[in-house]
Amino acid sequence: MIAFLVRRLLISAVLLFLVSVISYGIIATAPGAKVRALGEMDPKKLQSVQKKLEEKYHLDRPIYVQYLYTMRDLFTNRLMSFSDRPVTAQIGDRLPKTLLLNAVAIIMVLGFGIPLGIVGARWRGGTRDALVAFASFTLIALPNFFVSFLLCIVLVKYVQVPILGLSTFGVNYESWAKQLLDTGWHLFAPALVLSLPGVAVYSRYVRASMIESLGEEYIRTARAKGLRESIVYYKHALRNSLRPVITFIGFMLVGMIGGSVIVEMIFNYPGMGRLAYEALLMRDIPTLMAINFFSAALVILGNLLADILYSVVDPRVRLE
């Protein structure tokens, strides 16, 4: 187990390095001015200020030197955004909020995806299965941003779901419970949109896995023993079919971190995805680089977690 972890961590380090090189290459070679003293077309632009700024952020150096500077500053926690804010302060502000949103979304995916999958498997071929399948495929087929905009209008206009910020503006709550409910309510719309495709895919996954388990010998044995159907389903079949499904959580985290950029923009959620988008518009290389790096680290960590979870739930799997 320890050998496995060490090896995986080493591989992860190499992977992170490659990710950082590639992403820096893409960000830094994108067309357009890199650091702007003023808007590109401002008559008041002073060449000497522009030049000094480029020097300050090492943009006058070859790209690999720029990369080395950026990585050095990132690891020594000195990396400053182009608006002179430490990137760790920026990300520290936003990352917890993105993680919270993703956590709520994952809870919703698991909470709704597993029962829907079970329903599909248990009444396989029936009306209930068909309904679940229809809903799932519709959700998978519809583009996420489109559903988001529609939901945005419907939820805000007719259900008065708040979409700005994390708590109701100008309201003080006496108890933490109400504060929690308020925050939860603010998370509702973005988490719903973020989790919908997850629920759709996940329920298909659970269903398939369950159907596979139901065809196994031990199910026949269980039925032959005269066990009740519900015990056969929920004890024997479900337990085994959830194993592959658990690894899926790791991948889900990956997909959501990417998806939260769009969702955070549309629902105006103050998370890391919006920070990334705004940094992209500003061509703020250090901030983008740091966000990329943290996201990549999270993704790799998610995968590692999935592997470890898998070995925990399935004793046949040995991590070596």
Decide: is 62 part of the binding site for other proteins (CB under 8 A).
Answer: no
Compute how many residues bind other proteins; rule: CB under 8 A.
88
Which residues from 248-277 bind other proteins, rule CB under 8 A? 264-271, 274-275, 277
Distance in angstroms (rounded) separating the CA atoms of residues 261 and 144: 12
CB atoms within 10 A of CB 318: 9
Which residues from 291-310 bind other proteins, rule CB under 8 A? none
Given a contact cutoff of 8 angstroms between Cβ atoms, the answer to whether 110 and 205 are in contact is no
Q: Which of 16, 19, 156, 219 binds other proteins (CB under 8 A)?
A: 156
Of 10-18, 38-46, 133-141, 295-303, the window that binds other proteins (rule: CB under 8 A) is: 38-46
Nearer to other proteins, 4 or 123 (CB): 123
Distance in angstroms (rounded) separating the CA atoms of residues 301 and 303: 5
Report CA-CA distances (Å) from 56 to 35, 73, 180. 10, 13, 44
Q: Which residues contact 83 (CB under 8 A, 6 or more apart)?
A: 282, 284
CB atoms within 10 A of CB 317: 12
Which residues from 189-228 bind other proteins, rule CB under 8 A? none
Of 92-100, 123-131, 248-256, 311-319, the window that binds other proteins (rule: CB under 8 A) is: 92-100
Q: Which of 5, 21, 46, 317 binds other proteins (CB under 8 A)?
A: 46
Of 69-77, 130-138, 166-174, 246-254, the window that binds other proteins (rule: CB under 8 A) is: 166-174
Which residues from 103-142 bind other proteins, rule CB under 8 A? 107-108, 111-112, 114-115, 118
In sign, the C-alpha dihedral spanning 188, 190, 196, 199 is negative
Residue 282: CB minimum distance to other proteins, A:
7
Nearer to other proteins, 14 or 171 (CB): 171
Nearer to other proteins, 25 or 165 (CB): 165
Q: Which of 67, 74, 87, 94 binds other proteins (CB under 8 A)?
A: 94
Question: What is the three-class DSSP state of 103?
Answer: helix
What token pair was written down for 204? 């298909």
Distance in angstroms (rounded) separating the CA atoms of residues 206 and 223: 21
Q: Which of 2, 41, 141, 224 binds other proteins (CB under 8 A)?
A: 41
In sign, the C-alpha dihedral spanning 39, 45, 50, 52 is negative
Nearer to other proteins, 10 or 165 (CB): 165
Report CA-CA distances (Å) from 161 to 25, 39, 179, 185, 198. 41, 37, 16, 7, 22
Residue 20: CB minimum distance to other proteins, A:
23
What token pair was written down for 118? 């079970």
Of 12-20, 64-72, 126-134, 164-172, the window that binds other proteins (rule: CB under 8 A) is: 164-172
Closest CA to 188 of 257, 295, 250, 269: 269
| Beta bridge mates, 80 | 86
Q: Which of 14, 32, 125, 224 binds other proteins (CB under 8 A)?
A: 32
Residue 8: CB minimum distance to other proteins, A:
31
Residue 299: CB minimum distance to other proteins, A:
22
| Beta bridge mates, 86 | 80
Residue 110: CB minimum distance to other proteins, A:
8
The one-letter amino acid code at 187 reads: L
Q: Which of 3, 172, 224, 318 binds other proteins (CB under 8 A)?
A: 172
